[in-house]
């Protein structure tokens, strides 16, 4: 666990926060939206569990427009 100790969390925090905001916005949108491009629960799994890319994939392909 030396690795985790050696990391300066002040530097990484913004990245983590950005990722959290993206997930939160995607989930809020998914709940509010009338119909997604496919089953909503699948999109929820994608947003929550595909690290980094999940919310982006949802915003590009998941919203019907």
Partner 1 sequence: MNQWMTLFKKEMLEMSRNFKWIWVPLTFIMIAVKEPLTLYYMPQIIDSLGGLPEGAVIELPVPSAGEALAASLSQFNTFGVLIIVLITMGTIAGERKSGVAGLILVKPVSYAWFVTAKWASSMILIWISYFLSYFLSWYYVGVLFEFISFMDFLQSFFVNGIWLTLIVTVVILFNTFMKSPGAVGFISIGIIVILSILSSSLPHLLEWSPALLSAYANAFIMGSNLPDELLPSIIVSVIMITLSLLASIAIFKRRELA
Given the rule CB under 8 A, which residues bind partner 1? 2-3, 6-7, 11-12, 14-15, 18-19, 21-22, 25-26, 29, 52, 55-56, 59-60, 63, 65
Query: To the nearest whole angstrom, how small is the minimum distance from the Cβ of residue 65 to partner 1?
Result: 6
Q: Tell me the Ramachandran region of residue 38: left when phi exceeds 0, alpha when psi lies from -120 to 50, beta otherwise.
A: left
DSSP label of 59: I
User: Dihedral through CA 10, CA 20, CA 48, CA 36, nearest 10?
Assistant: -160
16 or 49: CB nearest partner 1: 16
14 or 39: CB nearest partner 1: 14
């Amino acid at each position: 666990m030396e690795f985790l100790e050696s990391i300066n969390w002040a530097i990484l925090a913004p990245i983590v926060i950005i990722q959290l905001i993206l997930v939160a916005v995607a989930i809020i949108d998914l709940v509010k939206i009338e119909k997604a491009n496919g089953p909503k629960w699948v999109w929820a799994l994608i947003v929550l569990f595909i690290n980094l890319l999940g919310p982006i994939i949802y915003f590009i392909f998941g919203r019907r427009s």
